[in-house]
């Protein structure tokens, strides 16, 4: 890996222009070409991201939901295109303004400034999507570096990751149940019902609930089986999409050979975690309701915590980091709710007004782009896919230019 300072020194010493690193044409022509390139790249990238969640609510789809999803898709494409386009414009502008590249203006500062274009699209959903995803990828990348004892422990211990996920599961499902968090999560919680549980048929598992389980027309087993069936189909669909999107080596020729490679990539990971998650959650929650005096926040929290053990079927760091970021957002929401004027007056009003998304999202995106350009192994696969997806592989092309310079410097200096 070439040091950034040596790379910048090489660019300055050899008077390398923007076209020698970032693009093949003039800066003006490149800006025009990238306008539609970034647009089409983002249309392809966000189609599965925004479309796949519809599979989880396919039975409740209606015209209003489809219109809202389409608007969400358009807003996300426009925001990502604005970010990618503004970054490459700022890079070229600073290069012409200063007459050279610097360590700060090469990628770090342009990405930081360009990231604020996300907020030009007045859509809280888009802001939440971008900030959550980018911060999640940054957190995963930092854990992958294993620079501290804690990150090493998380990176290498499946049990530690599972325990953290179980804690996050309890926090997120409770927040969704209280309607304080309305974003995406793997399962939807059972609505709260404070009545005492009674079942016909002398508390038989196959009897229909009369009150608090909130599935009065079904027994607890039927309710659990319904969730398993629904999420089984969703999980199979997600695993099938992952299989179809998997890459085939360039040396594989013929339809059947490529099909075999695709089939080998098919793994029941989403199927396993979704079905086990909803089964454990619903069965335990109903069991606690039926045998311990009705529903309560404590019983629901225990069921949500234990259901998080399904993470063991898919112990991926990406999913864990997503859960951690959501949990941090919920905790911050609880903190700002607690710091009410009735308790503390206006002493902590400034805390409630802190624009956390606008503070952390630009820093996280600048770090990801800069780290990937210098050494893509320092960034998670999801992070690399995201920053390349929204920029039509612009960052990947820049990384290739850095690798070329690295090889040149390596020939000149064997100790590099």
| Spans of the chain, pLDDT less than 70 | 1-3, 55-56, 59, 193-212, 214, 216, 245-246, 341, 345, 412-416
- Look at residue 328 and tell me if it is in a domain: no
- Look at residue 346 and tell me if it is in a domain: no
Query: How high is the pLDDT of residue 203?
Result: 46
- Look at residue 337 and tell me if it is in a domain: no
- Look at residue 331 and tell me if it is in a domain: no
Query: How high is the pLDDT of residue 407?
Result: 76
Query: Distance between CA 294 and CA 305 in Å, rounded?
Result: 18
Mean pLDDT for all residues in the chain: 83
Same domain, 267 and 397: no
Query: How high is the pLDDT of residue 341?
Result: 65
Backbone angles phi, psi at 236, to 5 degrees: -65, -40
Same domain, 30 and 167: no
Same domain, 306 and 233: yes
Same domain, 86 and 196: no
Same domain, 273 and 229: yes
Same domain, 263 and 378: no
Nearest Cα neighbor of 329 from 359, 301, 305, 357 is 357
3-state DSSP assignment of residue 379? coil
- Kindly report the CA angle at 43 between 39 and 49, in degrees rounded to 5? 140
Last residue of a domain, one of 314, 335, 370: 314
- Look at residue 174 and tell me if it is in a domain: yes
Same domain, 205 and 303: yes
* Cβ contact 82:117 at 8 Å: yes
For residue 258, what are the domain limits?
157-314
Last residue of a domain, one of 281, 296, 314: 314
Last residue of a domain, one of 253, 287, 314: 314
Backbone angles phi, psi at 219, to 5 degrees: -80, 170
Residue 151 tokens read as 């990150």
Residues in Cβ contact with 274 at an 8 Å cutoff, skipping those fewer than 6 apart: 186, 187, 231, 232, 234, 235, 238
Query: How high is the pLDDT of residue 195?
Result: 45
Query: Distance between CA 46 and CA 327 in Å, rounded?
Result: 24
Q: What pTM was computed for the model?
A: 0.85
- Look at residue 107 and tell me if it is in a domain: yes
Same domain, 163 and 150: no
Query: Distance between CA 96 and CA 89 in Å, rounded?
Result: 11
State how far the alpha carbon of 155 is from the alpha carbons of 128, 316, 320, 383, 384, in Å. Answer: 26, 10, 11, 17, 19
Instruction: Count structural domains, the chain.
Output: 2
Question: How long, in residues, is the chain?
Answer: 416
Same domain, 144 and 164: no
Same domain, 190 and 124: no
Same domain, 77 and 30: yes
- Look at residue 409 and tell me if it is in a domain: yes
Residue 156: count other Cβ atoms within 10 Å of its Cβ. Answer: 10
Nearest Cα neighbor of 169 from 267, 272, 271, 278 is 278
Same domain, 386 and 239: no
- Look at residue 367 and tell me if it is in a domain: yes
């Amino acid at each position: 890996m070439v040091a950034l300072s040596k790379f910048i020194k090489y660019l300055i010493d050899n008077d390398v222009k923007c076209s020698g690193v970032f693009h093949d044409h003039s800066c003006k022509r490149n800006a025009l070409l990238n306008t539609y390139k970034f647009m089409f790249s983002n249309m392809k990238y966000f189609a599965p991201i925004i479309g796949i969640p519809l599979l989880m609510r396919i039975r409740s789809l209606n015209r209003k939901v489809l219109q809202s999803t389409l608007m969400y898709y358009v807003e996300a494409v426009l925001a990502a295109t604005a970010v990618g386009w503004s970054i490459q414009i700022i890079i070229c502008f600073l290069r012409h303004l200063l007459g050279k590249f610097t360590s700060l203006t090469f990628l770090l500062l342009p990405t930081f400034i360009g990231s604020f274009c996300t907020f030009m699209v007045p859509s809280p959903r888009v802001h939440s999507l971008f900030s959550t995803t980018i911060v999640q990828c940054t957190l995963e990348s930092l854990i992958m570096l294993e620079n501290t004892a804690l990150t090493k422990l998380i990176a290498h211990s499946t049990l530690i990751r599972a325990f953290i996920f179980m804690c996050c599961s309890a926090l997120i499902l409770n927040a969704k149940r209280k309607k304080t968090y309305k974003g995406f999560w793997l399962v939807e919680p059972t609505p709260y019902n404070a009545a005492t549980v009674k079942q016909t048929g002398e508390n038989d598992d196959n009897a229909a609930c009369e009150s608090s389980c909130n599935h009065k027309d079904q027994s607890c087993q039927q309710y659990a089986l319904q969730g398993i069936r629904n999420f089984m189909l969703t999980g199979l669909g997600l695993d099938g999409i992952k299989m179809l999107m998997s890459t085939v080596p360039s040396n594989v020729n013929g339809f059947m050979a490529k099909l075999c490679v695709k089939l080998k990539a098919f793994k029941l990971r989403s199927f396993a975690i979704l079905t086990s998650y909803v089964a454990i959650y619903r069965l335990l929650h109903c069991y606690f309701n039926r045998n311990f005096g009705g529903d309560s926040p404590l019983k629901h929290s225990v069921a949500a915590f234990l259901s998080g053990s399904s993470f063991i079927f898919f112990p991926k760091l990406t999913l864990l980091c997503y859960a951690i970021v959501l949990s941090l957002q919920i905790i911050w929401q609880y903190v700002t709710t607690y710091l009410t004027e009735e308790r503390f007056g206006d002493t902590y009003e400034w805390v409630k007004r802190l624009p956390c998304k606008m503070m952390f999202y630009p820093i996280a995106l600048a770090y990801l782009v800069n780290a990937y350009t210098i050494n893509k192994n320092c960034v998670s696969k999801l992070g690399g896919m995201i920053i390349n997806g929204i920029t039509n592989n612009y960052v990947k092309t820049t990384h290739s230019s850095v690798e070329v310079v690295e090889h040149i410097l390596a020939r000149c200096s064997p100790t590099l």
